Amino acid sequence: MAARGAASDDPGVAVRLEGVVKRFGDVVAVDGVDLDVREGEFFSMLGPSGSGKTTCLRMIAGFERPTEGRVLLDGVDVGDLPPYERDVNTVFQDYALFPHMTVAENVGYGLMVRKAPKSERATRVDEALEMVRLDGFGTRKPAQLSGGQRQRVALARALIMRPRVLLLDEPLGALDLKLRQAMQLELKDIQQAVGLTFIYVTHDQEEALTMSDRLAVFDHGRIEQVGTPAEVYEEPATGFVAGFVGVSNVLEGDAARVIVGAATPITIRPEKIHLALDVNAAVAEGECTATGVVAKVVYLGAVTRYTVTLDEGGELVVMQQNLRASSMEALQVQGRRVRLTWEQQHSRPVGSVGRPSRVSAGGTAGSADPGEEDA
């Protein structure tokens, strides 16, 4: 991450935010964000509603101006440039297609506004539609398309302008689950094929983990952690990241001290824990262990989720694959005493659970972001 106020002399950086603050009256929506997005990467801004991610995207696009700090595109401070003078384009959740125009007319609209020759427009429209796997759909109207197809039309309309950076604001939020999952893979394939820098805003952690080369986790206007999906999931920097990105257990106080020997809170992912019905089962050297009673069992088909009340206080959630166990066998475990074990390396120290430690410097952030809709 860039140091605050650092000069943007790195040719590999497509977008840089330096000490960016955005206030709406008394509310601090973005609170001292420093961030580098590399050329050609799929970068996601992940966080709950009101965390500042959409406001950051809008400042990159030029729809909002920073109260403090700088936004740089390819090393150039664009703080005073309007959106149409920035070499970026934005895809929104609601697609914003013209219903009276055909697919081809929608895709070529930007080129028409720029008065590109008709022959050039036709060629580039065909190329853009082929890019998003919609060749042959040019004569249809938006009402004749599925939600996923309309989303791809919106994507083609943005790509045809050949921006250096493509901004995507929750573009899959209106789709049903299966279509959204299919479009995640398609978007990633398209991004790799065109080689553009994609900056993607989402509140869906699975979506961010699936598509991103790197991601930034936002909370209360600040960045909690930046890293690859594996780094953020396996090595959460704060209690907030551990709880927001995937499912995570947190042990603190006496339980953390007795079980792990930790003076500060630690987090353990549920799938890292092994559950044994034999409370006297041997424990390998270097493993952490705890005993308790299974309070809840939820059979989820491929996996079963167990909630275990620990003898030392607190609870741990355990996720186990149903390699051999049936639903009846899984449910019969409820109420039984069990032993839990996991490798010491999977006990990750985190900041304060109630109010995690921060990655970026800054003042007190407000809890709402007027630039974002509720998730």
**What strands lie across the sheet with 13-24, from one edge to the other?**
27-38, 13-24, 68-73, 76-77
Residue 291 lies in a domain: yes
Smallest CA-to-CA distance from 207 within 230, 174, 234, 229 is with 229
Could you tell me the CA-to-CA distances from 164 to 4, 68, 193, 226, 321 in Å, in that order? Answer: 24, 24, 14, 22, 43
The b-or-e profile of 204-227 (16+ CB within 10 A means b, else e) is bbebbbebbbbbbbbbbbbbbbbb
Give Dmax over CA atoms of the chain in angstroms: 79
Whole-model pTM? 0.82
Residue 100 lies in a domain: yes
Q: Are residues 265 and 186 in the same domain?
A: no
The β-bridge partners of 44 are: 200, 215
Q: Are residues 190 and 53 in the same domain?
A: yes
Residue 127 lies in a domain: yes
Task: Find how far residue 33's CA is from the centre of its chain.
Answer: 17
pLDDT, tens digit, 9 for 90 and up, residues 44-54: 999 999 999 99
Q: Are residues 186 and 276 in the same domain?
A: no
Specify whether the backbone of 5 is left (phi greater than 0), alpha (psi in -120 to 50) or beta: left
Q: Which residue has the higher pLDDT, 3 or 227?
A: 227
Q: What is the pLDDT of residue 365?
A: 33
What CATH number corresponds to the domain at position 174?
A: 3.40.50.300
How far apart (Å, rounded) are the C-alpha atoms in residues 260 and 290? 9
How far apart (Å, rounded) are the C-alpha atoms in residues 142 and 97? 7
pLDDT, tens digit, 9 for 90 and up, residues 177-233: 888 888 888 889 989 988 999 999 999 999 999 999 999 999 999 999 999 999 999
Residue 375 lies in a domain: no
Residue 195 lies in a domain: yes
Q: Are residues 263 and 307 in the same domain?
A: yes
Range 268-277 average pLDDT: 94
Residue 96 lies in a domain: yes
Q: What's the domain range around 271?
A: 249-345
As for how many domains the chain has, the answer is 2
Residue 2 lies in a domain: no
Mapped to the 3 state alphabet, what secondary structure does 269-305 carry?
Answer: CHHHCEEECCCCCCCCCCEEEEEEEEEEEEECCCEEE
Q: Among the three residues 217, 243, 269, which one is the final residue of a domain in this structure?
A: 243
What CATH number corresponds to the domain at position 276?
A: 2.40.50.100
Q: Are residues 322 and 179 in the same domain?
A: no
Residue 374 lies in a domain: no
Smallest CA-to-CA distance from 336 within 303, 299, 297 is with 297
Q: Are residues 69 and 193 in the same domain?
A: yes
Q: What is the pLDDT of residue 10?
A: 66
Query: Among 9-18, 315-324, 366-375, where is mean pLDDT lowest?
Result: 366-375
State whether residue 344 is helix, strand or coil. helix
Q: Are residues 53 and 176 in the same domain?
A: yes
